[in-house]
Amino acid sequence: MHDIHRPTKTDALSLLNAANLPTSDLTEAHMDYFWAVKEQQEIIAVIGLEPFSPYGLLRSLVVRPNKRNQNIGTRLVRHVENMARQMDIRELYLFTSTAQEFFEKFDYNTVLRHTAPDAIRQTTEFALLRPNNAVLMKKDLR
Ligand SMILES: CC(C)(COP(=O)(O)OP(=O)(O)OC[C@H]1O[C@@H](n2cnc3c(N)ncnc32)[C@H](O)[C@@H]1OP(=O)(O)O)[C@@H](O)C(=O)NCCC(=O)NCCS
Per-residue pLDDT tens over the stretch 84-103:
999 999 999 999 999 999 99
Amino acid letter, residue 84: A
Mutating to test ligand 1, I would choose from 102, 103, 123, 126 the residue with most ligand atoms within 8 A of its C-beta, which is 102
Distance CA 117, CA 106 (A): 21
Instruction: Calculate the alpha carbon distances from 42 to 37, 68, 80, 133 in Å.
Output: 8, 15, 21, 31
* Among protein residues, the one whose CA lies closest to atom 7 of ligand 1: 73
Question: What pLDDT score does 93 carry?
Answer: 98
Residues linked to residue 4 through DSSP beta bridges, in sequence order:
37
- The answer, yes or no, to whether any atom of ligand 1 lies below 6 A from the CB of 69, is yes
Q: Ligand 1, closest atom to CA 45?
A: 39
Buried b (16+ CB within 10 A) or exposed e, 14-52: bbbeeeebbbeebeeebbebbbbbeeeeebbbbbbbbbb
- 65 alpha carbon – ligand 1 mean position (Å): 10
**Of 108, 132, 12, the residue nearest 58 (C-alpha):** 108
Percent of the chain with pLDDT over 90: 89
- Please state, in angstroms and rounded to a whole number, the distance separating the CA atoms of residues 29 and 76: 19
Distance of CA 101 from the midpoint of ligand 1 (Å): 8
Predicted TM-score (pTM) of the model is 0.95
What confidence score (pLDDT) does residue 114 get? 92
Structural domains in the chain plus CATH codes: 4-140 (3.40.630.30)
